[in-house]
Amino acid sequence: MRNDLWRVDVGEDNARWLATECRTARLAKEYRPMDAGGGVVEFNSLALGAIRELGEEEDGFITDDSEGLRVWIGDDAYELELAEDAGA
């Protein structure tokens, strides 16, 4: 399994919401987005997979297209960046 870590700066309020109120925040710890502080949210591979299950009408929805990997909150999109790859 890959140990990729994705980070996105969504602002402090949105980071807190993603980590505590989003539907995926109720899953087991390894499947939750983590508030890293300073408005940054981190997703490991499992958390990213879990949040991809959200419907496009839900805040936290992920798109992956020619414009990049983005998380949507309301009408705002925030680009996720690959932070590290710890290997298999």
pLDDT at 84 over 70: no
**Domain ranges across the chain:** 4-85
Q: Please give the biggest Cα pair distance in the chain.
A: 36
Query: What mean pLDDT comes out for the span 28-36?
Result: 96
What's the CA gap between 87 and 29, in Å, rounded?
Answer: 21
Q: SS3 of 10, please? A: coil
Q: Which residues are bridge partners to 71 per DSSP?
A: 62, 78
Each residue of 42-53: b (16+ CB within 10 Å) or e? bbbebbbebbee
Above pLDDT 90, what percent of the chain?
84
* pLDDT number for residue 88: 46
- Positive or negative, the CA dihedral 27, 40, 60, 87 is negative
Q: Which long-range contacts (CB under 8 A, 24 or more apart) does 66-71 make?
A: 69/6, 71/8, 71/10, 71/18, 71/41
